[in-house]
Amino acid sequence: MEDPRDALDDSYEQQVKLLHEVRGAVAEVATAKKRIELQGEEMGARHRRLGEQATEAMAQGREDLARAALQRRASLEGQVAKLQEQHASLQAQTSQLQERERRLAEQIAAFRVEKETLKATYSASEAQVRANESVAGIGANMNDVGAGLDRARDRVTQMQARAQATGDLLASGALQDLTAAPDADIERQLSELASRADIERQLNALKAEGGEGGRGSGMTVHSPDGWLSIGQAPPTP
C-alpha cells in the first residue's frame, strides 16, 4: 500500500517551490519598479532644470531660448506621464503578487500543520498495527506452546502408565526380564520365602520375650559398632 506520508511531503515541497517562484516574481517586479523610479527621478531633475533655464532666459531677454526650454519640458512631461503609468501598473502588480504571496504562505503553513498531524496519526496507527500483529503472533505461538505442553503431558502420562504396567508384568512373571540372570525368578522367590521366614522368626522371638518376663531378645544393639549386626542372623545359643 502506498505510504501517504510520501505523497504529503511531495505536495508540501511543490507548494513551497511555488511560493519561491511567487517571491521571485515579486522581487523581479520590485526591481523593475525601482528602475522606473530612478528613471523618473532623473526626468524630474531635468524637468526642473528646463524650468529654471526658461526663467533665466527670459530674465536675460532671450525669449527664444525660454520658448525652446519650455517646449523641451513639455515633451519631457509626456515621457514622464508614460513612465508614471508604467510605475502605477508595476505598483499594482507588486501589491497583487505580495497579496498572493501572503495567502500562499498562510495556506502552506496550514497545510504543513495538517500534513504533520496526518503523518503523526498514520505513524501511530502503523505502530499500533505492528504491535497488534506482534501480540497476535505471540498469542498464536503461546497457543502452539500450550498444545505442545498438552502433548508432552499426555506422553509423560502414557509412559508412566506403561512403566507401571511393565513393572507389574515383570513382578508377576508374565513378562520375562531378558536382562536378568538365568533362574533369577527362582532366586527371587527363595529370597521372598527367606524374608517371610525371618519375619516369622522375629515375631516368635518377640512372643518368647514377652513370656520370659521381658528378657531382651537381642534385637536392640547398644554397642558403637552394633550397626554392623543389623540385618544379620542372631547368634546360635
Say whether both 132 and 190 belong to one domain: no
User: By the 8 A CB rule, do 50 and 72 touch?
Assistant: yes
Task: Give, for 180, the enclosing helix (H) or strand (E).
Answer: none
pTM: 0.48
CA angle at residue 69 from 67 to 70, to 5 degrees?
Answer: 65
Q: Give the up-direction half-sphere exposure of residue 161: CA atoms within 13 A in the CB hemisphere.
A: 6
> How confident is the model at residue 233, as a pLDDT?
58
Q: Give every residue of the chain whose pLDDT is below 70, as ranges.
A: 1, 137-146, 167-185, 211-237
Q: What number of other Cβ atoms are within 10 A of residue 126's Cβ?
A: 12
Closest residue by Cα to residue 72 from 56, 50, 57: 50
Q: Give the up-direction half-sphere exposure of residue 94: CA atoms within 13 A in the CB hemisphere.
A: 14
3-state helix, strand, coil in the chain (%, to 5): 85, 0, 15
Any idea of the CA torsion for 159, 162, 166, 168, to the nearest 10 degrees? 110
**Each residue of 150-185: pLDDT tens digit?**
777 777 787 777 777 776 666 666 555 555 566 666
Residue 114 in any domain: the answer is yes
Decide: residue 205, CB within 10 A, 0-12 exposed, 13-18 middle, 19+ buried. middle
Decide: residue 104, CB within 10 A, 0-12 exposed, 13-18 middle, 19+ buried. middle
Quote the number of domains for the chain. 2
> How confident is the model at residue 104, as a pLDDT?
93
Task: Give, for 146, the enclosing helix (H) or strand (E).
Answer: helix 63-172
> How confident is the model at residue 228, as a pLDDT?
44
> How confident is the model at residue 125, as a pLDDT?
86
Residue 27 in any domain: the answer is yes
Please give the residue range of the domain that contains residue 203: 184-212
**Each residue of 196-209: pLDDT tens digit?**
887 888 888 887 87
Total residues belonging to the chain: 237
User: By the 8 A CB rule, do 108 and 12 touch?
Assistant: yes
CATH number for the domain harbouring residue 8: 1.10.287
Say whether both 108 and 13 belong to one domain: yes
Residue 68 in any domain: the answer is yes
